[in-house]
Amino acid sequence: MAIATINPATGETIKTFEALTEAEVKEKIALAQATFENYRKIPLAQRSEWLRTAAEILERDRRQYAELMVLEMGKPIKGAIAEVEKCALVCRYYADNAAEFLADTPVPSDGNSFIRYQPLGIILAVMPWNFPFWQVCRFAAPALMAGNVGLLKHASNVPQCAIALETIFKEAGFPEGAFQTLLVGGDRVEAIVNDDRVMAATLTGSEPAGASLAAAAGKQIKKTVLELGGSDPFIVLESADLEKAATTATAARMLNNGQSCIAAKRFIVVESIADAFEAKIIEKFNALKIGDPMAEDTDIGPLATPSILQEIDENVQKSVAMGAKVLTGGERLQDRPGNYYPPTILAEIPEGSPAEKEEFFGPVASVFRVKNLAEAIARANAIPFGLGASVWTNVAEERDRAIEEIEAGAVFVNGMVKSDPRLPFGGIKRSGYGRELGQPGIREFVNIKTIWIA
Active-site residues: which are they? 227, 261
CB 271 within 8 A of CB 368: no
Cβ distance to ligand NAP smaller for residue 265 or 369:
265
- Burial profile 29-40: b = 16 or more Cβ within 10 angstroms, e = fewer: bebbbebbeebe
Query: At its nearest, how many Å lie between ligand NAP and the CB of residue 430?
Result: 10
Cβ distance to ligand NAP smaller for residue 40 or 357:
357
Question: How many residues make contact with ligand NAP (CB under 6 A)?
Answer: 30
- Chain CA centroid to CA 375, Å: 29
CB 451 within 8 A of CB 116: yes
H or E element: which one contains 380? helix 373-381
User: Which part of the chain contacts ligand NAP (CB under 6 A), choosing from 228-236, 288-296, 315-323, 324-332?
Assistant: 228-236
Cβ distance to ligand NAP smaller for residue 274 or 410:
410
Contact pick of 106, 185, 323, 352 for ligand NAP (by CB under 6 A) = 185
Decide: residue 93, CB within 10 A, 0-12 exposed, 13-18 middle, 19+ buried: buried
Contact pick of 35, 48, 148, 156 for ligand NAP (by CB under 6 A) = 156
437 contacts ligand NAP (rule: CB under 6 A): no
- Burial profile 302-323: b = 16 or more Cβ within 10 angstroms, e = fewer: bbbbeebbebbbebbeebbeee
137 contacts ligand NAP (rule: CB under 6 A): no
155 contacts ligand NAP (rule: CB under 6 A): yes
Smallest Cα–Cα separation from 178: which of 156, 200, 146?
146
Contact pick of 55, 77, 136, 261 for ligand NAP (by CB under 6 A) = 261
Q: Which amino acid is at 274?
A: A
205 contacts ligand NAP (rule: CB under 6 A): yes
Query: At its nearest, how many Å lie between ligand NAP and the CB of residue 5?
Result: 13
Q: Which amino acid is at 441?
A: G
User: Which part of the chain contacts ligand NAP (CB under 6 A), choosing from 20-28, 108-116, 153-161, 310-318?
Assistant: 153-161
Query: At its nearest, how many Å lie between ligand NAP and the CB of residue 157?
Result: 6
Query: At its nearest, how many Å lie between ligand NAP and the CB of residue 263?
Result: 8
Cα gap 436→420, rounded to integer Å: 10
189 contacts ligand NAP (rule: CB under 6 A): yes
151 contacts ligand NAP (rule: CB under 6 A): no
Contact pick of 166, 359, 407, 444 for ligand NAP (by CB under 6 A) = 359
Contact pick of 228, 255, 309, 406 for ligand NAP (by CB under 6 A) = 228
Cβ distance to ligand NAP smaller for residue 126 or 380:
126
Cβ distance to ligand NAP smaller for residue 186 or 441:
186
Q: Which amino acid is at 160?
A: Q
| DSSP string covering 74-103 | ---HHHHHHHHHHHHHHHHHHHHHHHHHTS
User: Which part of the chain contacts ligand NAP (CB under 6 A), choosing from 18-26, 123-131, 339-347, 373-381?
Assistant: 123-131
Query: At its nearest, how many Å lie between ligand NAP and the CB of residue 420?
Result: 13
| DSSP string covering 100-116 | HHTS-EEEESSSEEEEE
Contact pick of 212, 224, 250, 339 for ligand NAP (by CB under 6 A) = 212
Q: Which neighbouring-strand residues pair with 203?
A: 126, 226
Rounded alpha-carbon distances, angstroms, from residue 319 to 221, 325, 370: 41, 9, 19
229 contacts ligand NAP (rule: CB under 6 A): yes
Residues 274-303 that bind ligand NAP (CB under 6 A): none
Report which residue's Cβ sits closest to ligand NAP. 205
Cβ distance to ligand NAP smaller for residue 185 or 337:
185
32 contacts ligand NAP (rule: CB under 6 A): no
Contact pick of 204, 339, 344, 366 for ligand NAP (by CB under 6 A) = 204
Decide: residue 449, CB within 10 A, 0-12 exposed, 13-18 middle, 19+ buried: exposed
Query: Helices 77-101 and 62-73 sit at what angle, rounded to 10 degrees?
Result: 120
Instruction: Give the 3-state secondary structure of residue 250.
Output: helix
CB 267 within 8 A of CB 317: no
1 contacts ligand NAP (rule: CB under 6 A): yes
Q: Which amino acid is at 350?
A: P
Residues found near ligand NAP in the complex (CB under 6 A): 1, 126-130, 153-156, 185-186, 189, 203-206, 209, 212-213, 227-230, 261, 359, 361, 387, 427, 432
